Chains A and B, each alone.
Chain A
Amino acid sequence: MVSPVGNTSTPPATPRLQMRGVRKAFPGVIALDGVDLEVRAGEVHVLLGENGAGKSTLINVLGGALRPDAGTIALDGDTVAFGSPRDARARGIAIVHQELALVPALSVAENLLLGAPPARAGVIQRARLHTEAAAALAVLDPSIDVRQPVSALRLGQQQLVEIARAMRGAPVVLVLDEPTSALTPHEAIRLFDGIRRLTARGTSVIYISHRMDEIAVIGDRITVLRDGRHVITVPTRPLQHEQLVRWMANRDDVVPGTSTGTRSVATAANPSDAQPAHVTQHEHSTPRLCVHALARRGVLHDVTFSADAGEIVGFAGLLGAGRTELARALFGVDRLDAGEVFVDGQRVRCSHPGDAIRAGFGFVTEDRKGDGLLLMRSVRENIALPLLRSLARFGVVPRPSETTIAEDAVRDLRIRTPSVQQSVLALSGGNQQKVVLAKWLATGARILLLDEPTRGIDVGAKAEIHTLIRSLANRGVTILLFSSELPELLALADRTLVLRGGRLVGEVTRAESSPERLLALAVGAVSADAPAGNAA
């Protein structure tokens, strides 16, 4: 392993890491379009960008998991080419992804020293294993017993173990992808401590996060990426919060100095939306959906709201605030402990997704490939799946009517596919998502639960999905939009409800919504749970 060298007081002439003109295209999407990134020795370099801006692709290129189509990477002036993650690790690049890579059944110590446990003649020396592991964890969390299995730890502690493992190798460049998402404020402070010790010894840290408060605390410089391009690199101090949001969200036609109560950011986030096409309809006195005092132990508490036909209701909140959990509970995926749901004034009990579908719900999950689609099967089979039983006569599927339904949906939603017989595996992300939507429209869903409907979809298709969502609302479908992307909520939602810790903590109407307002509610106004609340 290369030991880190460098002087932190003055930036050296040769940057620690220099990525130049990095390009990476996937079928249908250009993920990186000639990105430059320069990281100095001993600095914490923040990568900022919306979902799909290219952060993860860039990190995967750096880590050797992806090969760039063009561009160069230089470490301390040496041009390097990584053929595999192993190559990158050998050069001292350590990456901590959001998804943990620990072996749950092994102990904390065994995980920490997984690659090269201390051994003599092939027999692991347990005492040394435990002392070395404890030393590696001393900064981040000395309270963790290194002998217990990783599966016994909380998610946040597991995250710390993973980070400690990466730090232990004294990496030249350490990449942390949203490291604090599962951490308590206290743990986050310890993490920052660990980062500072590491950078003092010359390690460079690339830090991916959306939390402005922690960026202000830990970051030295910020690079903003947008649509696969490098926008700007600026020092963290002073933190130009609104300017950063504008760089991330694109478009220069924004009114500077926005505060609450203006529409400027909403329109800036999506210029085509300057005049929202749809008008909320209040035809009935009874709302389409009424949810009263919904609760699921430890996850959702006393959630009450209603939504009208044709209304788009947004749900905002940080990771773990209960967005997905609320959608799953409404759809009968997870059991409720308390609460009542009414559709058009009728009480409905959904203990199984089948009940929810009959009550008029449709659910577009956040993980399209994981639980939304049968990837190997055709567009036709995917669209027809939820209504197959009602379509069938004596258990036999009538192929012609099934094909008609699928073809109508493909036309209606403009799904780009050679035919309905095409397997959905071959479609682009945007078109796959349309297949998922088509599935629920075919069942005649009157209430659509959309959980991150544009995740992993390229910019063009995203706009198309947004237009589609609006037109569905115009047809009278009630839309509950669960999204972590504030611009998406601002562009689409008639009003946005904010979740925090499984509770509804606020409601913001379209007229008064702004990223700052939503964020403030989501983090708890005075950012009580932020590690160091001086910059939110």
Chain B
Amino acid sequence: MRWWQRRETGTLVGLLLLCLALFIATPYFATLDNLRNVAEQSTVIGTLAIGMTFVIIAGGIDLSVGSVVALSGVVLAMALRAGAGAALAVALALLVGASAGALNGVLVTIGRLPPFIATLGTMSVGRGLALLLADGRPISGFPDGLRALATARWFGVPVSVVLMLALFAFAQLVLTRTVLGRFTYAIGGNAEAARLAGIPVRGYTTGTYIIAGISAALCATLLLARLNSAQPIAGIGYELDAIAAVVIGGTSLLGGSGSVLGTLLGALLMSVLRNGLNLLGVSSYIQQIAIGAVIVIAVLVDMALQRRLRHTPS
């Protein structure tokens, strides 16, 4: 496949056009500070969307990630406040995320629940647990060992952005170069064919949900570093933003195709759009309309392109 036939190309072109338009429309867009700001804002949803990409490529969906962000964030904050080191606290948060993902995976593969239903349930359970643990209040007042994640820069680039890009690069390698990645595409493309090829479909499907849970915990870590507190009501609606980033990036909700590279572009596009509309002084109500329109148009264009590609004989 040539580069211009790749599905990500459309998203990239859209992103560049949007940047160009904003560059012309407002002098404040193309400043170093603003671009840094845009990149930083994209890290939260970007990180979350990595795991979502795996789940969706494997033919599933995970609605619980927003709640898992809150739950693992609360656990992280409690661990920090109890005096645990940053590394231990983050490890604990990742464990919480992975466990939530494992539960989702088991419900979907062994319980045979539709992913939508299973994760709708765990979404509510996760949110309730977070509220219960935090007693409904934000947790703050701990040594700022994680603060560096939000403030430090490498050669002018925020560390959180570097971290996100590294995660995307790693995920891209996993998807394209490893057995796990290949099986993820195989299961989403044709689960029965995958099973008949001897692939342990249940195990690998569960694996994608665990990756989504770990993504959520990483997202919670970035969020806590930025806000220096953890909220049990954090992450509400994040799952939909993550799904939007994945879909704008050209990953099909039917499973079997897509890439995290596209998801990165999708997350950036949403972030740039929000930022640009803010700079232009567009009300937040209209911003919602604009973002909704972008999602729909992106998928419409993508489907039209796919139809043309499929016009090869079958």
Cβ contact within 8 Å between B198 and A352: yes
Cβ contact within 8 Å between A386 and B197: yes
Measured CB to CB, the nearest residue on chain A to B185 is A377
Q: Does B143 contact A (CB under 8 A)?
A: no
> Which one of A358, A365, A371, A426 has the highest number of Cβ atoms from chain B below 10 Å of its Cβ?
A371
Other-chain residue from A363, A376, A377, A396 in contact with B196 (beta carbon distance below 8 A): A363
| Chain B: minimal CB distance from A120 (Å) | 38
A389 to B199, CA, bound (A): 9
Chain B interface: which size bin? 20 to 34
Please report which residues of chain A, range 369-417, place their CB below 8 angstroms from some CB of chain B when the two chains form the complex: 370-377, 381, 385-386, 388-389, 392, 395-397, 399
Please report which residues of chain B, range 255-291, place their CB below 8 angstroms from some CB of chain A when the two chains form the complex: 256-257
- Cβ proximity bits B190-209 to A, threshold 8 Å, 1 near / 0 not: 10111111111000000000
Other-chain residue from B189, B200, B310, B312 in contact with A354 (beta carbon distance below 8 A): B200
Q: Does A353 contact B (CB under 8 A)?
A: yes
> Which one of A363, A372, A388, A426 has the highest number of Cβ atoms from chain B below 10 Å of its Cβ?
A388
A159 to B95, CA, bound (A): 53
Q: Using Cβ atoms and an 8 Å threshold, which residues of chain A touch B256?
A: 374, 376-377
Cβ contact within 8 Å between B179 and A395: yes
Cβ contact within 8 Å between B182 and A385: yes
> Which one of B194, B195, B314 has the highest number of Cβ atoms from chain A below 10 Å of its Cβ?
B314
A523 to B203, CA, bound (A): 44
- Cβ proximity bits A23-39 to B, threshold 8 Å, 1 near / 0 not: 00011100000000000
Measured CB to CB, the nearest residue on chain A to B190 is A374
Please report which residues of chain A, range 167-199, place their CB below 8 angstroms from some CB of chain B when the two chains form the complex: none
Q: Using Cβ atoms and an 8 Å threshold, which residues of chain B touch A426?
A: 312-314
> Which one of A331, A354, A385, A397 has the highest number of Cβ atoms from chain B below 10 Å of its Cβ?
A385
Q: Using Cβ atoms and an 8 Å threshold, which residues of chain A touch B179?
A: 388-389, 392, 395-397
Q: Using Cβ atoms and an 8 Å threshold, which residues of chain B touch A373?
A: 190, 193
Cβ contact within 8 Å between B196 and A375: no
Cβ contact within 8 Å between B178 and A395: yes
Cβ contact within 8 Å between A371 and B313: no
Q: Using Cβ atoms and an 8 Å threshold, which residues of chain A touch B194?
A: 374, 385
Q: Using Cβ atoms and an 8 Å threshold, which residues of chain B touch A385?
A: 182, 186, 194, 197, 199
Q: Does A125 contact B (CB under 8 A)?
A: no
Cβ contact within 8 Å between B189 and A399: no
| Chain A: minimal CB distance from B182 (Å) | 6
Q: Using Cβ atoms and an 8 Å threshold, which residues of chain A touch B257?
A: 376
- Cβ proximity bits B71-103 to A, threshold 8 Å, 1 near / 0 not: 000000000000000000000000000000000
Other-chain residue from A358, A372, A421 in contact with B193 (beta carbon distance below 8 A): A372
Please report which residues of chain A, range 52-111, place their CB below 8 angstroms from some CB of chain B when the two chains form the complex: none
Other-chain residue from B182, B190, B198, B313 in contact with A353 (beta carbon distance below 8 A): B198
| Chain B: minimal CB distance from A329 (Å) | 13
Q: Does B112 contact A (CB under 8 A)?
A: no
Q: Using Cβ atoms and an 8 Å threshold, which residues of chain B touch A27?
A: 313-314
Cβ contact within 8 Å between A374 and B199: no
Q: Does A290 contact B (CB under 8 A)?
A: no
Q: Does B183 contact A (CB under 8 A)?
A: yes
Cβ contact within 8 Å between B189 and A376: yes
Q: Using Cβ atoms and an 8 Å threshold, which residues of chain B touch A421?
A: 1
Cβ contact within 8 Å between A371 and B192: yes
A428 to B196, CA, bound (A): 22
Q: Using Cβ atoms and an 8 Å threshold, which residues of chain B touch A395?
A: 178-180
Q: Using Cβ atoms and an 8 Å threshold, which residues of chain A touch B314?
A: 27, 375, 425-426
A to B CB contacts below 8 Å, 29 in the list: A26-B313, A331-B196, A353-B195, A353-B196, A353-B197, A353-B198, A358-B198, A363-B196, A370-B192, A370-B193, A371-B192, A371-B193, A373-B193, A374-B186, A374-B256, A377-B256, A385-B194, A385-B199, A386-B197, A388-B183, A392-B179, A395-B178, A395-B180, A396-B178, A397-B177, A426-B312, A426-B314, A428-B313, A439-B197
